Structure 1
Amino acid sequence: MAVKICADSFEPWQEVQQYRNSAKKMAGKSGATAIFIGMMRDVNEGDAVKGMMLEHYPGMTEKHLEKIIAQAQQQWQILDALVVHRTGTVLPDEPIVLVAVWAVHRGDAYDANRYIMEALKSTAPFWKKELLKSDAERWLKKNTDGYASS
């Protein structure tokens, strides 16, 4: 398992490929890979957004993400997991988060990936300040539930 926090933009597919290439222990073992990539949107809560500042607590955030992965490993039969998360200034259409899970079977990969992502969004110590196109700023108090509003 691996957790990576980065202050600069990252290329999700390159991160997955590099990690997979370095994880020789998984060669021939995984039959499924579930990948989630979260991107920065240019609108939130009905307002145009030009960027977002993401802050974290170094050391504590990584340990928290490792704990989430360990909890997923207890619930599903997964072989490995990778979480990459941005900090600093993020612009619309840039990746914010990558969660990749490898397992023998797709059910375990899908379910563990969803669990890791939802736990990350609801409990990981990240703080987000949106930079609105109106030049206003606001700290986000909560994350969305992951579904479009009805």
Structure 2
Amino acid sequence: MRLIGKLIIAIQKKILICIARIGLLILGIITMNRLLLDAVIKLIITAVAPFLFIWGVNTLFNTGILLTFKTWLAGFVLIHIFSHYARSTRGRYPEEYEDEDEDEDEDEDEYEDEYEDEYEDEAYEEIPDDDQMKRSRKPLKVYQGRKNRKSDHPRKDKS
């Protein structure tokens, strides 16, 4: 009986290992397919973009450029030259800016922390008691308007 139990446990372990390996294999295939799909999409975009560029120039400026391999190649080169110069300098030379990014983030955090403390202090000022509020309120004078504007002379009835 014990031998059969050990045999069943060993078979279950082997089955679980096989299932795990198959799962990893499927995950790898899916990942490879996704990478392959991304590569195919990039290839299609790279092939179609010059045609769209030439079509856009033809449409906007009514130039009548023919869609041939030479014009496609010229559009391809123009697009890549433009994309090369359109990149920021940080994208081309990231090693020069590694220290600056960290310093800027720290400075911004300190700046935000300072102002947050000030706002919290203002927000949590003590509210005066009812007695203090009653003492601080004074009755409005006859010539004092609702908006606390004092006129120079009180209103007098003209008779």
- For normalisation by structure 2, the TM-score amounts to 0.19
Indicate the structure with greater helix content. 2
Structure having the higher Rg: 2
Bigger strand fraction: 1
Please report the TM-score for the alignment, with normalisation by the length of structure 1: 0.20
